[in-house]
Structure 1
Amino acid sequence: MRALSALPLDDDVLDRIFTFCPTFTTLQSLILVSKAFYTVYQTHPRSITRAVAYNIVGPALPQALRAIRYPYGDDEVEPGDREYHKEDPDTMATTCPEEHEPSVITAEEKMELQENARMVQSLEDVYSLTQKDRTSATSVLTPEESWRFRRAMYRIMLYCRLFPGDRYTLDDIEELEEEGIKQIQKQRTAVLAEYPTDELLQLYAVVRFLRGILEHVIGDEELATNLAQLFLSLGPESILDAYEDRNYDILEDLLGYSILEEDGDTPLYIGYFSTPLNNIWAARKVTAPPKEEEPATKYILDEIIGANDTCSQCPSLGGLKLITSANWHRVDLQPTQFLKSHLKQTYSISHPFSQAVDKLRLEHAAATREENKRSYPGFKLDFDDDNDGDNDIRTYLPPQLAQFLPDFNKLVDNDPTRTSPAPFYAAVFATPKPSEWDEWTQDKSYCQSCFNRFFEENAWRWYLREKIEGGWNPPEDCWYGYNCKTMVHKQAHADSKNHLCVPTRGGP
């Protein structure tokens, strides 16, 4: 039907245009284009809004909506007074079902959907990089694989919000006693039992992935074993924050040190996911329940790219563990560890070398920040450089809306390489080198051994070039170059000779 406007488009065409909006911000802008657009939107607000929500979240929209709509608590009950462990498991499991008639999506829900979608997308990028294709920093999951992953992630989010790790102190857990803990285990089992077995296996696979992230961030194997289950209870959002910061302090802060004193060995969190899942496998008589020693990716992925690839410089089989420019941030070594021979033991060289690497990182971070500022021109008010909150756009919104608006200062600074040596690696690859290294380029894959060898042989060359370009006039080369032992304990010798050079005596 033709709209009563000057636009030569039927109302159903305008309606169709609305459904292609990629974000709610775009939708709002389109509504304000003209009265004709506004009228069409007012005629079909529910279907148009849901279509845009689908564009943002994807087919996991029912799970995403349930995660934000579930009535987790009673605002009229004081914290600590509500006896969550006494609530009926079946009621908890069936409240706010995923499948329901389309309903109005409120302004608060729109903002939270967008924020959660960004978080899930970031986790999918990490999953894709570590589990499917080591060469791409952004997800290459197929639509079906992505749906499995996201559906499971939103369900994990719901579960962690229902049974959060920061709900109880150690004293609270003691007061629960064995009977209370058993009741909570029944609640957890009932919530997960609502899902079919194949989708539970997908959820299990994503839990394994999140646990792997935690183990990588924690580092210490024994500590990771004790704390990973406890940290899982803080939910995907907090786990992603810890991963991006490469630090689990944020998780400790959320939990409180009173719980951490037990090293995660509290009965309420032992088997946080595994206990209810095992209960379900047994009840359903699953013939082949998943095993810890087996890869869980088979429940999410139909194909792994490069699973049998070898190092570009040696026959070592590495697959997803091979190092590429997309996963440089996973290299745990500090740049100073790549300094050749005795250079790393000489403070007058290793210290300024570290400063040069830090300068490179800061320059990269500054460039990224400026680029991201240009990417979010509509949020200029939120770039609060002195962090005093005066220019934060959220201060101009009602609290119920502001709490869901992301901190755009954090967003523009949110570059995974800002604390990693990735800019340094790129600079070393770009540094002129002897012809024997011509085939070693940053677009190739390397095993850890070859990667280490390349940087040990060339990191000092990058630093030498940096110093010369900065105005340094090298003194006479030391005969023993980077192998010189005297420079380690004689500052005068270290300063009077250039040791950023290949030895001419005493062997390479």
Structure 2
Amino acid sequence: MSMSTHHGLPLDDDIVDRIMTFCSTFGTLKSTILVSKAFYRVFQTRPKSITRAVAYNIFGPALPQALRVVRYPYHDYTSPSDDPVAMAEACPEDHTHSFITVEEQEKLQENSKVVAALEDVYSVINKDRTSKTSVLTSDESWRFRRAMYRIMLYCNQFPGSGFIQYDDESIENIRKQRTAVLSEYSTNELLQLHSAVKFLRRIFFNLSGIGVFYFLCHSALVADAVPRDSILIDALLSAGPSGALRGWEARTYGVLEDDIDFEPFENDEENPLFVGYLSLPLENIWTARDITPPKEDEPVSKWILDQVNGANDTCSQCSHPGGLSLYTEANWQRFPVFLTNLLKGHLKRNPTIAQPFFAATSHLVNADALGPFIGDLFPLTAHTAPAFDGWERTGSYCFACLTKFLEEHLWVWWLEERIKSGWTPPENCWYGWNCRTQTHKQSHADTKNHLCAPIKGDPV
């Protein structure tokens, strides 16, 4: 057996091979190959097996699904007249040891970042609300990622940006193509895909006006009552996992304008290709296989997760049962960003206060910024009512309690921020934040400080 030399130490070629197969990314593998001529030589003799091993380190058992996404010949199947069966069977999921090109590696790495980030979101919403990063088991992660890559493929095959007005016959054939593509998977795998689709629908649901309304009325991110007939949600689904992640991070589906043509929705027009984008082919398959379809009220975690952590937990303050919908430091970014509406009393209707406050907090629409901001409010408890003594940033809070906390702290934070920026408060208004005059008399709003507790007026 041949030997290599590295820094004067003899290394068996199999050991060098083994070292390279432990690389966690393609970039690490590339750097390792450049360590010495010996590593380079061994790689040149075993490129397929080493590259495949590193790919498995990145994607695990979902590698065949990830490879199909980057290898599928999308350009060959774009016409409504294409044979549905041929479209479904093109480029099967690769379970062999085929060579992975550099171009494929780059695309795989890009897609893996999307799926990994979505798994973190899925985990904190559906598995364990106390961890920002995924705590899914290896089996749960495999089910989730396999489903996500299959959804990614489907959305690449039927992109929303390519939807134009077809005749009835073409529309029917496209629907057959969609059904044929999904029919390639087993029933159990389709149930997992259904759960993953439901998760994406929840993300898009809460980026839409429907979701905002639900926030205000029901105070929960992962509401079960997602309207199935919402064509907008179906259209957003066509943006796929990457679109869902971008929308989640920006907290708006406006970032998907390049992916989806929103003009028909603005003109109250319907595109039949958006209707039942993923649900219709699944329904066709349930019927063809004589299977009872999944129930609408089933949790998103069903078919993917084996166990949920903290499902029966209660609010740290009011003991209201909330489970995974409770807010913790790991998921504060889920809180609906209407901070100006949470200003105490009538402050929200005082433009002298509300407008600069909105400008100062507008950046919190970013999911990564809101959580740290809420955490920094807890030290302000010393300035507020004694009722908040004992409230800890490590607690779990229902929507009502967290809203109450923010209402009692935001105005104090804003007062301190304005003073830090050089503002000298004028004389306090006797009615403080509960003053009605500040909302309709500009001179009073400008000459009196209302960022203070009332000492006169109606009891609050």
Same structural fold, with TM-score higher than 0.5 when normalized by the shorter chain: yes
2:425 pairs with 471, 474, 482, which one? 474
Deviation of 1:416 (Å): 3.2
Amino acid at match of 2:283: N
Deviations 1:150-182 (A, max 9, x none): 001111111122222222312xx13xx2x3222
State how 1:41-440 maps to structure 2 within 5 Å.
Answer: 41-74=43-76, 84-170=79-165, 173-174=166-167, 177=168, 179-220=169-210, 225-257=230-262, 259-260=264-265, 263=268, 265-286=270-291, 288-358=292-362, 361=363, 416-418=367-369, 421-431=370-380, 432-434=382-384, 435-440=386-391
Shift of 1:207: 0.9
Separation in 2 of the partners of 1:4 and 1:153?
42
Q: Comparing 481-490 with 191-200, which one deviates more in the overlay? A: 481-490
After TM superposition, the structure 1 stretch with the greater mean CA deviation from structure 2, 112-121 or 158-167, is 158-167
Do the aligned partners of residues 263 and 126 (structure 1) sit closer, same or farther apart at CA in structure 2, a change above 3 Å counting? farther
Per-residue deviation, residues 187-217 of structure 1 (Å, max 9, x unmatched): 2222211111111100111111111111111
1:48 Cα deviation after fit: 0.8
Distance 1:503 1:110, change over 3 A: same
Q: Distance in 2 between matches of 1:83 and 1:152?
A: 23
Asked if the contact 1:214/1:224 (under 8 Å) is kept, the reply is no
Distance 1:345 1:258, change over 3 A: closer
**Quick one: distance in 2 between partners of 1:472 and 1:239?**
41
CA distance, structure 1, for counterparts of residue 126 and residue 268 of structure 2: 29
Q: Which amino acid aligns with 2:136?
A: L
Looking at structure 1, the residues matched to 232 and 302 of structure 2 have their Cα atoms a distance apart, in angstroms, of 26
SS at match of 2:373: helix
Rounded to whole Å, the distance in 2 between the matches of 1:500 and 1:234 is 44
Instruction: Determine helix, strand or coil for the equivalent of 1:9.
Output: strand
**Matched residue SS, 1:134:** coil
Question: Structure 2: which amino acid aligns with 1:490?
Answer: K
Following superposition, the deviation at residue 2 of structure 1 comes to 5.5
The farther-off stretch of 452-461 and 103-112 is 452-461
- Mapped partners of 1:84, 1:187: distance in 2: 10
3-state secondary structure, aligned to 1:183:
helix
2: distance between equivalents of 1:83 and 1:40?
42
Q: For residues 3-23 of structure 1, what are the alpha-carbon distances to aligned partners after superposition, in whole Å with 9 as ceiling and x for unaligned?
A: 242333222121111111111
229-238 vs 50-59, greater mean Cα deviation: 229-238
Q: Extract structure 1 runs of 4+ deviating beyond 6 A.
A: 221-224
Assess if the C-alpha contact under 8 Å between 2:26 and 2:105 holds in 1: yes
Equivalent residue pairs, number: 440
Once the two structures are superposed, what CA deviation does each residue of 1:56-107 show, in whole Å capped at 9, x if it has no partner? 2221000000111011114xxxxxxx87222222222222111442111111
Distance 1:94 1:262, change over 3 A: farther
For each residue in 1:328-386, what CA deviation from the matched residue of structure 2 results, as whole angstroms up to 9, or x when unmatched? 2222242222211122222222223334435xx59xx9xxxxxxxxxxxxxxxxxxxxx
Unaligned runs of 5+ in 1: 75-81, 366-414
Task: Please say if residues 242 and 248 of structure 1, whose CA atoms lie closer than 8 Å, have aligned partners that are also in contact.
Answer: yes
- 2:351 maps to a residue whose letter is Y
Any conservation in 2 of the 1:230–1:269 contact (CA below 8 Å)?
Answer: yes
| Closer, same or farther: CA 90–486 of 1 in aligned 2, 3 Å | closer
DSSP 3-state at the match of 1:188? helix
- Answer whether contact 2:4 2:11 (CA < 8 A) is retained: no
Tell me how far apart the structure 2 counterparts of residues 499 and 269 of structure 1 sit (CA, whole Å): 50
Match in the other structure for 1:442: 393
Shift of 1:145: 0.5
TM-score, normalized by length of structure 1? 0.81
Structure 2 counterpart of 1:330, which letter? R
**Structure-2 change in CA distance of 1:483 and 1:71 (3 Å):** same
Query: 1:169–1:258: 8 Å Cα contact kept in structure 2?
Result: no
Letter in 2 for 1:205: S
Q: Which amino acid in the other structure matches residue 204 of structure 1?
A: H
Deviates more, 1:458-467 or 1:471-480: 471-480
Counterpart amino acid of residue 14 in structure 1 = V
Residue type of the alignment partner of 2:248? Y
- Letter of the 1:56 partner, please give it: I
CA distance in 2, matches of 1:257, 1:273: 19
Tell me the distance in 1 between the aligned counterparts of 2:423 and 2:394: 32
Cα offset, 1:300, TM superposition: 0.5
Structure 2 regions of 5+ residues with no counterpart?
A: 212-226
- Give a deviation string over 1:371-418, Cα, whole Å, max 9, x none: xxxxxxxxxxxxxxxxxxxxxxxxxxxxxxxxxxxxxxxxxxxx7325
Measure, in 2, the Cα distance between the counterparts of 1:209 and 1:465.
40
- Pairwise CA distance, 1:110: 0.4
Contact 1:230 1:264 in 2 (8 A): no
- TM-score, normalisation: structure 2: 0.88
TM-aligned CA deviation for residue 277 of structure 1:
1.5
| Cα distance in 1 between the residues matched to 2:16 and 2:160 | 47
Aligned CA-pair RMSD: 2.4
Greater Cα offset, 59-68 or 237-246: 237-246
In structure 2, how many angstroms separate the alpha carbons of the residues matched to 1:198 and 1:109? 29
Q: Which residue of 2 aligns with 1:32?
A: 34
Aligned mates of 2:388, 2:260 — CA distance in 1: 49
Partner of 2:24: 22
- Seq. identity, %: 54
* Contact 1:290/1:296 (<8 A) preserved: no
8 Å CA contact retained: 2:247, 2:256? yes
- Match status 1:493 vs 2:449: no
Q: 2:28, 2:246 → 1: CA distance?
A: 28
Distance 1:295 1:480, change over 3 A: same
Q: Which amino acid aligns with 1:104?
A: F
